[in-house]
Structure 1
Amino acid sequence: MLTQEQIEQLEAFDAQGARVLSVYLDLDPASQIRRSYRIAFEDLVKALRARLEGQEQADLSREVERVQTWLDSQDPRGKGLAVFSCTPRGLWHASFFAVRVMNHLAFEPTPDVAPLLRLVDEYERYAVAVVDKERARLFTVFLGEIEEMEEFKDFVIGKHRQGGVSDARYQRHHETHVYWHLKRVAQRLAELHRRRRFDRLILAGPEEATTELRRVLPRALAHRVAAVIPAEVFASEREILDKTLEVERRIERESEERLVRQLVDLAGPGGRAILGVRPTLAALWADLVQTLVVAHSVRGDGSECPNCLRLEPGRVESCPTCGAAMRHLHDIYHRAMERAVDQAGSVEVVYGEAERHLVDVGGGLGALLRYASPVPQAAVR
């Protein structure tokens, strides 16, 4: 995973007149059935090469060959990949991600880090506090990986008295030490939040410890508690990550279901949403899309006009608008996502129940619009 410092270094990179090839590839196994990342890369290169001439094409070929050679030597890891290459200036950086990225290619005087910045902006950072009455382990999880971890132990006297100390007094001493320990955990979480701001907080451990910790959290952190779950304080990092991702997926699915319901509620004549493949592609062509919503499982070929950029589902020989020969696309849905991002819109891929609902009502494609539109609302399934 790229760190913020590495992203800033890429932003500041000076190619001194050369060009940088920036490659983003979707490696999600679920997307490789009909369209592998290698085919996606070749299609992106072909489209880019058609826009270049002379020496620029030769320079592109050099960088493409370098990336292809590297890809041949790699077993894909995770769900996404970013590569930056500039042979004349000695730049090479490749990072795998535990989350999906959108297929994208750029050959510019500077590294194209815009997709990375969008990734950082779109994903939420989770903090996890795994506690018992004397130990604590604090994690941050971002982009599907553990970023940071710290652990500590405080002295807490046992629950059973020793010598002549009364049971009640000894129990109060024990409870006071537990309180001090959990208060320290809350303070360390506040420090962590100042250093590496997180969006949601998960409390994990025995119920007695997590209940007391939640009670002593500062209000700003208490509002961020997304889940309280049982866990052993000695659980492995893999177990902690899996539990965190399970909570994250649940929250994401709930958000996606709300989004699809919003699409359905707002769609209609003069509405601020649209449903259906052809109407949504028409809205993209008109630059009306604020948020494109795509069902994860949908695939389908399509056509794109290289002249006016109109998108159509299926194979269309000539553009219905300008008459130019249409270019065939292996995956019209993926191209729609790229187009939405190019237009400064956002993309939401939905799964599970939200995915099934969107397929039923709109063939797997819909959008929230920047403003009400007269685009026809008939769904094309």
Structure 2
Amino acid sequence: MSTTWETIEERERRVRGTRTTSTMVRAGEQVPVGDTLKAAFAERPFINREDLRSIARQAYDRPVITLYLNFSAERLVRSDRPVFLSIFSSLRHQALEAKKTYIESLPHAQRLGVPDDLRDVQDFLERYEPQGARALVIFKSGTQLNRVVPLPVRVADSLSIDADAYVEPLEAIMEEQHRVLVLDVAMDKTTFSIYELGYEQELQSIEEELPQQTDPFRPGKEERHRLAHVKWHFKAAAQLADRLFRERNCDLAMLIGEETVVKEFEDYLPKALQDRLLARTSLSIEDGPNRRRAAIENALAEQRKKEEEAAIDQLGFYQGHGRLAAGLELVIGAANLFLMRQLLISDDLAQAGYVCRDHHFLSMKPGACPFDSQPLLPAENVVDELIEIARLHGVEVMLVTQRRDLLARYDQAAAVLVTATPIDELRAVSVTS
């Protein structure tokens, strides 16, 4: 009987592993159980798409408070009371006034829970240090729901008190961001993680016990034995990478490890996954988490640069066919008419303006909403309101961060329209005096 390089037990374990990968990954995921925002954030300071779907599906015993809070530079000036706390106080007052009838209709215990939850949100914000975050999202409902999500992108300020969590803006943001499957590859171990929204979450790892060279008189055979185990490991890791990439809805993959090892391992990946490789880089444990994160972010920035160049290059075609609104005023006009299919806007563009959130109407001038004649609310940055409305309506949004120079010819804001539209029509919808 011929011999093999592994025992039957090893072989069966390897076969079983291919069938239970998904179960193992799902079993390893734990939703934070902190009773307060501080405890939940300490346990898990990030969110993934599966978490968000779970939050949206969950039924809650009392109203859910959802806060979206922007951290613009002027809001982060050090003072006894950070500016963003004043913004929160204003949002809280507006939300309580707008939801007064709803809150008063709640059972007594639920009604009393609203101020308690708002107090926990304020307590958390008073101690929170943004540390590079561009914005923050908070979901709070008693002890049932406590999630804090720092974001690397801007949002429109809002605070809602409702029966369900207001997840749609965050859902749209996560769809816009790349989800990267990161593989740390070595000859005897491969670790898999997901990088998203600036955070990395380890999923699992697989290992292979490599034979040691013990017989100096048979070095060739021992080396072949060792090489066979490396090949088995690479094959198993590549198969698992392909599965995780699809199951986790990743759109890019990144390989980290010694250059020769990574190069050899790459050949084992399916062609479709090879085509989605973001980068290959050499990092060691000594490099630390900051250098690791910087390497991933730098690779994403290069990818983003290519995508922005390609998207902006297409704008000339649409402009030539009368399907482009250029400049913030015309883009807002297109948004008010729900004509936008794609929105490209400079990440640092800011402009004060006015908004009617009930009817998704924007203006750069004060006045009343043309739909209900109610006064428009002032918006510190109407661009943030524009971006949120676009996301809610399924518009493909690109915040241009790398090639603002190319977007300058369109005054830093451009919208591809669903159909050719005369410029006069984009200016037709205006506020009432």
Decide: shared fold, TM above 0.5: yes
Q: CA deviation at 1:210?
A: 1.6
**DSSP 3-state at the match of 2:184:** strand
The farther-off stretch of 146-155 and 322-331 is 322-331
Amino acid at match of 1:14: A
Residue 415 of structure 2 corresponds to: 367
* TM-superposed deviation, 1:165: 3.4
SS of corresponding position for 1:24:
strand
Does structure 1 residue 270 correspond to structure 2 residue 317? Answer: no
Q: How far 1:304 sits from its partner (Å)?
A: 3.8
Q: 1:51 to 1:122 in 2, by over 3 A?
A: same
- Cα deviation, 1:9-39, whole Å, max 9, x if unaligned, reads 43344346x5322112234658857x95445
Partner Cα separation in structure 1 for residue 386 and residue 400 of structure 2: 15
1:115-194 equivalences under 5 Å are 115-156=169-210, 163-165=216-218, 172-193=224-245
Secondary structure, counterpart of 2:129 in structure 1: coil
Q: What is the identity percentage for the equivalent residue pairs of Structure 1 and Structure 2?
A: 18
Inter-partner Cα distance in structure 2 for 1:109 and 1:307 = 18
Shift of 1:79: 3.7
Aligned to 1:283: 334
Instruction: Count residues in correspondence.
Output: 368
What TM-score, normalized by structure 1, do the two folds share? 0.79
Q: CA deviation at 1:44?
A: 4.0
- Where 2:178 maps in the other structure, the secondary structure is coil
Match of 1:357 in 2: 406
Give unpaired runs (5+ residues) of structure 1.
none
Contact 2:308 2:402 in 1 (8 A): no
**More deviation, 366-375/48-57:** 48-57
**Alignment match, 1:22:** 66
Relative to 1, partners in 2 of residues 1:257 and 1:378: Cα closer, same or farther, differing over 3 Å?
farther
In the alignment, the residues of structure 2 paired with residue 197 and residue 318 of structure 1 have an alpha-carbon distance, to the nearest angstrom, of: 44
Is 1:299 aligned to 2:350, yes or no? yes
- Kindly tell me: are residues 264 and 32 of structure 1, through their superposed partners in 2, closer, same or farther at Cα, counting changes over 3 Å? farther
The residue that corresponds to 2:165 in the other structure is 111
Rate the CA distance shift 1:21–1:138 in 2: closer, same or farther, 3 A.
closer
2:250 is the counterpart of 1:198: yes
- Cα distance in 1, alignment partners of residues 357 and 266 from structure 2: 57
Cα separation, 1, equivalents of 2:145 and 2:393: 29
1:93–1:299: structure 2 CA closer, same or farther, 3 Å change rule?
same
Match of 2:140 in 1: 85
- Structure 1's 146 and 209: CA in aligned 2 closer, same or farther, altered over 3 A? same
Residues 130, 283 of structure 1: alpha-carbon distance in 2 compared, 3 angstrom cutoff: same
Structure 2 partner of 1:337? 387
For residue 41 of structure 1, what is the amino acid of its counterpart? F
Q: Identify if the C-alpha distance between structure 1 residues 182 and 53 changes in structure 2 by more than 3 Å, giving closer, same or farther.
A: closer
Question: 2:137 touches 2:151 (CA, 8 Å); kept in 1?
Answer: no
Seen in structure 2, the aligned counterparts of structure 1 residues 5 and 251 have a Cα distance that, compared at 3 Å, is closer
Task: Report the equivalent of 1:223.
Answer: 275
In the alignment, the residues of structure 2 paired with residue 4 and residue 324 of structure 1 have an alpha-carbon distance, to the nearest angstrom, of 37
Please tell me whether the aligned partners of residues 277 and 362 of structure 1 are also in contact (alpha carbons under 8 angstroms). Answer: no
Residues 204 and 230, structure 1, Cα contact 8 Å, conserved in 2:
yes
In the alignment, structure 2 segments of 5+ residues that lack a partner are: 1-45, 106-110, 428-433
1:301 CA displacement: 1.2
Output the amino acid matched with 1:22.
Answer: T
- Whole-angstrom distance in 1 between the partners of 2:140 and 2:231: 53
Q: 1:356 to 1:96 in 2, by over 3 A?
A: same
Q: Give the Cα separation in 2 of the matches to 1:341 and 1:183.
A: 40
What letter corresponds to residue 129 of structure 1 in structure 2? L
SS at match of 2:344: strand
CA contact (8 A) 1:269 1:376 kept: no
CA–CA distance in 1 between the matches of 2:343 and 2:281?
Answer: 34
Can you list the C-alpha shifts for 1:65-100, whole angstroms capped at 9, x where unaligned?
55334322333353432223345xx54513133533
Instruction: Tell me if structure 2 keeps the 8 A contact 1:274–1:377.
Output: no
Q: Structure 1 residues 40, 252: CA separation in 2 closer, same or farther (over 3 Å shift)?
A: farther
| Matched residue, 1:70 | 124
Q: 1:230 to 1:49 in 2, by over 3 A?
A: same
Q: Aligned residue for 1:99? A: 152
Counterpart among 208, 211, 235 of residue 263 in structure 2: 211
The alignment yields a C-alpha RMSD, in angstroms, of 3.8
The one-letter code of the counterpart of 1:286 is L
- Contact 1:186 1:218 (C-alpha < 8 Å) held by counterparts: yes
Question: Aligned-pair distance for 1:116?
Answer: 3.4
